[in-house]
Structure 1
Amino acid sequence: MGINKEELFIRKMILHLLNNQNGDMKLSKDLFDISADMEDYLKGQIVKLLSSDDAKETKLNQESRVPNLLFSMDESKEVEFIETSRLIAEGLFDIMCDSFLIPAACFVMLSFSYQEEVYYGLLKLPLEEVLKADFRGSGDCIDVGMSKSTALNRRGKLQEAIIIHPVKGSARLYEKRFEMQNGEKIFYLSERFLESIAQMPIKRKISILAKSINEACVHHEMNVQDQIQCKKITLELMENDGFFDIPKISQELFGNTPQAKEYFDKQMERYDLSYDKFMPKDETSLKPFLFYTVTTDLGVEIKVPSNLVSEYIEFREYDGSITLRGIDRINLK
């Protein structure tokens, strides 16, 4: 869904300092007095997370510690909000201390409303960026002043952040895998902090789908024109249905070619996508279906917009020729 930043309102916010690199944890006792600049920065990060196909999604177990704390909290009561945030921050800090590879952070807990629904945000602001800004802390409050010279990157996105929808009992998150002290590499935010299993990002699913279609076509020795046609059909199915329907795509593309279908279905099973249906939020995620990169045996690569293939470009593999029509000007990039 498209998120209108102007309809998003931050209700409450608190900031805690979690520096697992030196064992330093400072927990605020008061809400953060948010400035207009900081509010705009955080709203921008929230919109990116809610709109991104790079984000993961997960269904929350309401009996797990963090969801239970949030869902049982009366958000309207300031004291409850502060105390809950401190308990959540302490739990996160304990997990972070299990790996020095996890970056230290200023941990933000906030509540915001969008279209009359209340959401919670659990965001890790990069500590080194915050400390370069106007940073001041005491035993009761940690404050970050925003100015034109602040180091917080407004264009970039946070590497670790969670948005929780209490009504749906679900979360969207950015996370990274880190090696813990026992040598195990895990997604600690979903697996240990939220105690859930997050789904693969939609952008990754689209990439796997496009790659698997290519491989199935090659496996069945289809020519380039047929491979392009398979991707074109897949995009048309998505546009008509509003989402990628894996079983339908498998049948439509390879229903008459059992070997290619078997190969494609095995790839989907490998990534646990056999019965999946997913809808991209961002058109840029469709890049594998909007552009084709054709590689010759001489190492020449041609990037072709999909909407030009049938009318302006022809690949003839039997004589090794490529015809481009309707060109007014050629530039060297």
Structure 2
Amino acid sequence: MIRIKEAILHILDINTNEPIFSYAGLDTSERMMIEYIEAMVAKVEDSDSMKDGILEEDNPMTGLFKNCQSDFVEGTKALSEKFFNVTKLNPEIPPADLLIAHFELDEVPCLGVFKLNYSDSYTHFVSYEGDVLTNQIILNRAILPSQRQAIQEGLVVNLEQMAYHVIEKKHMIAELGEKVNYFTEMFLEDTPKPSLKENISIIKKAVQKTSKAFNDEEFQVLAETKEAIVTSMQEDNLIDNEKIAEALFGDNFAKKQKYFEQVEELGYVDRAPAEAAVAGPKYSKQKFRLDNGIEISIPLELYKDPDVVEFINNPDGTTSVIIKNIEKIKNLF
């Protein structure tokens, strides 16, 4: 349950020399505004790209966030100025507005910071030349995301514990000469834990390296990995790496050891929270792309059913896929 207390929009167009601060908040009694802010919060909280962390007391952002509780307008101006100073020297970071909201999430005071990147869109414009009214078409280069559109950067901070959830995208930083997660590294000055999506990617890479080391068939091991991950998310609401290793390698100590070495080296965070409602639909099918161009999508629960599908290793080293007992075929054109 979200109860919005106050919100404000600051314009941080890097094509201008200075940010354009708002000196008054948005009307949070309007249904449109309430729904828009709720949608922005959901884009952070319901994303499998969401990372979490906790700001220490000596982190400069801790004081800035707390100041927003006592003086919302001035506190958000300080936040926005810091953000603008990071982005204005790096032209590859898209220009945007910064929407900042103070709200309660399940009765916990929170602050949301959402970067609303601009996009181009055409609209009409009514002009007068003398007494002649003319309807024109103009290009507006500062269109904000709709409720349904994704955002690249967003943050929700628990103001009691300074715990935060964040989504972000790497961008080229001129002074560093490389792409970095500037939103956390330069704005928050903190390093969050890997997201659910990143943790799954780490597991995938570790399994690939392990299967290669032991000459296992990669596509089969990865299919079993996906099944083990989904099972862990559904049963435990987290990714339990011990259970995944057990499901994949059983009593094979050598494979387990190799796998655990790889996930540790890649930065995996064990027992990371994983909302099955978020991640489940993305991992409900086994998908394969064959080298002849054919793509196959098999529901997870049918993948191991020998009456439905069978993978056969041929003597010449190739693999055959047999799909069985089909009563009807529908073209999805």
Deviation by residue 1:276-305 (Cα, 9 ceiling, x = unmatched): 112322545346753223455545432222
Q: In the alignment, does 2:310 pair up with 1:317? A: no
CA shift at 1:43, angstroms? Answer: 0.9
Instruction: Provide the rounded CA distance (Å) in 2 between the counterparts of 1:245 and 1:298.
Output: 36
Which residue of the partner structure matches residue 166 of structure 2? 173
Query: 176, 197, 200: which one pairs with 2:191?
Result: 197
Given that 2:210 and 2:259 are in contact with CA atoms closer than 8 Å, whether structure 1 keeps it comes out as yes
Instruction: Provide the rounded CA distance (Å) in 2 between the counterparts of 1:281 and 1:133.
Output: 44
Instruction: Provide the rounded CA distance (Å) in 2 between the counterparts of 1:230 and 1:19.
Output: 44
Which residue of the partner structure matches residue 144 of structure 1? none
Give the alignment's Cα RMSD to 1 decimal: 3.0
The aligned amino acid for 2:106 is Q
Which residue of the partner structure matches residue 25 of structure 1? 19
Matched residues, number: 307
Q: In the alignment, does 2:236 pair up with 1:236? A: no
Q: Out of 241-250 and 14-23, give the one that drifted further.
A: 241-250
Which residue of the partner structure matches residue 157 of structure 1? 150
The alignment's TM-score, normalised by the length of structure 1, stands at 0.80
CA shift at 1:262, angstroms? Answer: 3.6
| Structure with greater strand share of residues | 2
Given that 1:110 and 1:120 are in contact with CA atoms closer than 8 Å, whether structure 2 keeps it comes out as yes
Q: How does 1:135-154 map to 2 (within 5 A)?
A: 152-154=145-147
Q: In the alignment, does 2:57 pair up with 1:62? A: yes
Instruction: Provide the rounded CA distance (Å) in 1 between the counterparts of 2:327 and 2:83.
Output: 59
Instruction: Provide the rounded CA distance (Å) in 1 between the counterparts of 2:296 and 2:213.
Output: 22
Q: How does 1:156-305 map to 2 (within 5 A)?
A: 156-185=149-178, 186-222=180-216, 228-229=223-224, 231-273=226-268, 276-283=270-277, 285-286=279-280, 289-296=283-290, 298-305=292-299
Q: In the alignment, does 2:89 pair up with 1:95? A: no
Given that 1:99 and 1:179 are in contact with CA atoms closer than 8 Å, whether structure 2 keeps it comes out as yes
CA change 1:225–1:93 in 2 (3 A) is: closer
1:207 aligned counterpart, secondary structure: helix
The aligned amino acid for 1:193 is F
CA change 1:167–1:259 in 2 (3 A) is: same
Q: How does 1:9-20 map to 2 (within 5 A)?
A: 9-20=3-14
Given that 1:129 and 1:152 are in contact with CA atoms closer than 8 Å, whether structure 2 keeps it comes out as no
CA change 1:220–1:295 in 2 (3 A) is: farther
CA shift at 1:165, angstroms? Answer: 0.8
1:107 aligned counterpart, secondary structure: strand
Instruction: Provide the rounded CA distance (Å) in 2 between the counterparts of 1:11 and 1:193.
Output: 24
CA change 1:257–1:91 in 2 (3 A) is: same
CA change 1:196–1:305 in 2 (3 A) is: same
Counting aligned pairs with the same residue, the percent is 22
Given that 2:157 and 2:163 are in contact with CA atoms closer than 8 Å, whether structure 1 keeps it comes out as yes
Deviation by residue 1:214-260 (Cα, 9 ceiling, x = unmatched): 55345434456676455434543443333211234224432532443
Instruction: Provide the rounded CA distance (Å) in 1 between the counterparts of 2:12 and 2:124.
Output: 17
CA change 1:231–1:160 in 2 (3 A) is: closer
Given that 1:190 and 1:198 are in contact with CA atoms closer than 8 Å, whether structure 2 keeps it comes out as yes
Deviation by residue 1:25-49 (Cα, 9 ceiling, x = unmatched): 2112222224321221121111121
CA shift at 1:271, angstroms? Answer: 1.5
Q: Out of 225-234 and 164-173, give the one that drifted further.
A: 225-234
Which residue of the partner structure matches residue 36 of structure 2? 41
1:122 aligned counterpart, secondary structure: strand
The alignment's TM-score, normalised by the length of structure 2, stands at 0.80
The aligned amino acid for 1:87 is A
CA change 1:326–1:255 in 2 (3 A) is: closer
